[in-house]
Amino acid sequence: MKPRVFTQNPLPQDIQAYLNEHVELKIWDKTDSLTREQLLNELSDVDGLLTSGTAINEELLEQAPQLRVVSSISVGYNHFDTKAMKEYGVIGTHTPYVLDDTVSDLVISLMLSAARRVPELDALTKRGGWEKGKDQEMFGVDVHHKKLGIIGMGRIGETIAKRAKYGFDMDVTYFNRTRKKEVEEKLNISYQSMDDLLCESDFIVLMVPLTKDTKQLIGAREFQLMKKSAIFINASRGQTVDEQALVDALQTGEILAAGLDVYDQEPINENNPLLKMKNVVTLPHIGSATSETRHAMAMLAAKNIVAALTGEGSYYAVKELQGVEVRL
Ligand SMILES: NC(=O)C1=CN([C@@H]2O[C@H](COP(=O)(O)OP(=O)(O)OC[C@H]3O[C@@H](n4cnc5c(N)ncnc54)[C@H](OP(=O)(O)O)[C@@H]3O)[C@@H](O)[C@H]2O)C=CC1
Ligand SMILES: O=CC(=O)O
């Protein structure tokens, strides 16, 4: 008998066809979005769940007695309670590598947009505010040849560094808990303590996963260390930053500008002060959102769930759940 898989994510036809060959696929096809209660109900007799941000916690695992694999169409997996999943013998998989270039492109666009004030000046031009002789009021700052500090030199961090170094001649430094000498040599970049990186960088990009150690990694103290001319970019998760401290730093001129793809609350509340600031570029968590990359992620997530459920082929288990014995 084929394993049963449930998903609430709409999937392209070719991915559905691939899944149908290997599993009994059930897709949530109602127009209303699925409530938590409906999800738990659907999970009562399935072996696998294909999802993106669904919180996988004890309450869900308790009510899904057959569940063996949760495959996330994302690389970040802070929605997994990996401790509980381990206890219940449930594997969690994710989609590394296939989105690195796309997310990096977006990070570079946030850097450029914030530095050159692209959204602000686009709005000014469209509302007829372009006046001759007022160029100076529209000046931005250069990106090329500046110093970029990347916090979180992982898969995505590395592709950002490559673009910054070879595309924009930037002086790139990074901070990680583990030093990566081979990457330093390959890309001609250097390692710094986090405080030194914060003090010296013109651009600071945060690209760490959200974990108990990175929650509010950047707060009031860290913004105080930054240059007044610093541009801060966050494309990791909103909770890696103390958002109120970010608002304060931008309002008091402690830093120059910010480019954000992620927030404490998503979708962001329409009254959030960040939305009112000219010196903040705001995007709706679209780091990997191109047709090609979202397709590649969904296909990889489909392959992960098939491999993990059938035991045929390899899959990308998240770090904390590698080698976990799956419940029978
Ligand atoms: N905006 C968007 O749409 C997207 C956002 N993301 C986010 O980006 C994150 C990173 O993805 P990816 O590059 O693939 O992940 P990786 O695991 O490859 O890289 C993460 C890096 O962060 C470092 N890190 C972890 N904890 C800390 C810490 N406490 N202090 C400093 N550095 C730390 C790790 O090094 P070390 O362990 O040595 O410290 C590692 O090098 C994802 O987890 C996700 O949250 C990803 C894709 C799209
Ligand atoms: O935020 C997106 C991800 O893939 O993680």
pLDDT at residue 327 tops 80: no
In a domain, 326, yes or no: no
pLDDT score at 132: 94
Looking up residue 140, the CATH number of its domain turns out to be: 3.40.50.720
Is residue 38 domain-shared with residue 184, that is, in the same domain? Answer: no
pLDDT at residue 265 tops 90: yes
Is residue 123 domain-shared with residue 259, that is, in the same domain? Answer: yes
How close is the Cα of 34 to the center of ligand 1, in Å?
29
Is residue 121 domain-shared with residue 77, that is, in the same domain? Answer: no
Question: How far is 294 from 99, CA to CA, in rounded Å?
Answer: 8
In a domain, 327, yes or no: no
In a domain, 202, yes or no: yes
72 neighbors 79 (Cβ within 8 angstroms):
yes
Is residue 108 domain-shared with residue 155, that is, in the same domain? Answer: yes
Is residue 249 domain-shared with residue 141, that is, in the same domain? Answer: yes
For ligand 1, atom 17, which residue shows the shortest CA distance?
154
CA distance readout (Å), 290 to 73, 171, 281, 297, 312:
14, 29, 19, 10, 30
In a domain, 107, yes or no: yes
- Of 165, 204, 207, give the one whose Cα is nearest residue 184: 165
**Model confidence band, residue 248 (pLDDT cutoffs 50, 70, 90):** very high
For residue 270, give the 3-state DSSP assignment.
Answer: coil
- Provide residues with CB under 6 Å of ligand 2: 74-76, 99, 287-288
Strands of the sheet containing 280-282, edge to edge, are 190-191, 171-175, 147-151, 203-206, 231-234, 257-260, 280-282
Query: Which residue out of 207, 210, 212, 283 has the highest number of ligand 1 atoms within 8 Å of its CB and is therefore the one to mutate?
Result: 207
Query: Which residue out of 74, 79, 97 has the highest number of ligand 2 atoms within 8 Å of its CB and is therefore the one to mutate?
Result: 74
pLDDT score at 7: 97
pLDDT digits (tens, 9 = 90+) for 251-260: 999 999 999 9
What is the enclosing helix (H) or strand (E) of 205? strand 203-206
In a domain, 328, yes or no: no
In a domain, 157, yes or no: yes
Question: How far is 26 from 49, CA to CA, in rounded Å?
Answer: 10
Length of the chain: 328
Question: How far is 298 from 50, CA to CA, in rounded Å?
Answer: 9
Q: How many domains does the chain have?
A: 2
pLDDT digits (tens, 9 = 90+) for 36-95: 999 999 999 999 999 999 999 999 999 999 999 999 999 999 999 999 999 999 999 999
Q: Which long-range contacts (CB under 8 A, 24 or more apart) does 243-248 make?
A: 243/274, 245/218, 245/219, 245/220, 246/218, 246/274, 247/273, 247/274, 248/220, 248/223
**Does ligand 1 come within 6 angstroms of the Cβ of 237?**
yes
For ligand 2, atom 3, which residue shows the shortest CA distance?
74
For ligand 1, atom 23, which residue shows the shortest CA distance?
152
What is the enclosing helix (H) or strand (E) of 23? none
Tell me the two tokens of residue 164.
């910054």
pLDDT digits (tens, 9 = 90+) for 155-208: 999 999 999 999 999 999 999 999 999 999 999 999 999 999 999 999 999 999
**What domain range is 40 assigned to?**
4-98+291-321
Terminal Cα distance for the chain, rounded: 14
pTM: 0.98
What atom of ligand 1 comes closest to residue 214's alpha carbon? Answer: 29
Three-state SS annotation for 140-156: CCCCCCCEEEEECCCHH
ipTM of the prediction: 0.99
Is residue 171 domain-shared with residue 85, that is, in the same domain? Answer: no
Is residue 84 domain-shared with residue 114, that is, in the same domain? Answer: no
Is residue 168 domain-shared with residue 181, that is, in the same domain? Answer: yes
In a domain, 104, yes or no: yes
pLDDT digits (tens, 9 = 90+) for 275-307: 999 999 999 999 999 999 999 999 999 999 999
For ligand 1, atom 36, which residue shows the shortest CA distance?
177
Is residue 188 domain-shared with residue 40, that is, in the same domain? Answer: no
In a domain, 161, yes or no: yes
Question: How far is 109 from 286, CA to CA, in rounded Å?
Answer: 12
Percent of the chain with pLDDT over 70: 100
Is residue 220 domain-shared with residue 239, that is, in the same domain? Answer: yes
State the chain's mean pLDDT as an integer.
Answer: 97
Is residue 80 domain-shared with residue 10, that is, in the same domain? Answer: yes
pLDDT score at 31: 80
How close is the Cα of 128 to the center of ligand 2, in Å?
38
Is residue 94 domain-shared with residue 104, that is, in the same domain? Answer: no
What atom of ligand 1 comes closest to residue 99's alpha carbon? Answer: 47
For residue 315, give the 3-state DSSP assignment.
Answer: coil
Q: Which residues are catalytic?
A: 237, 266, 285
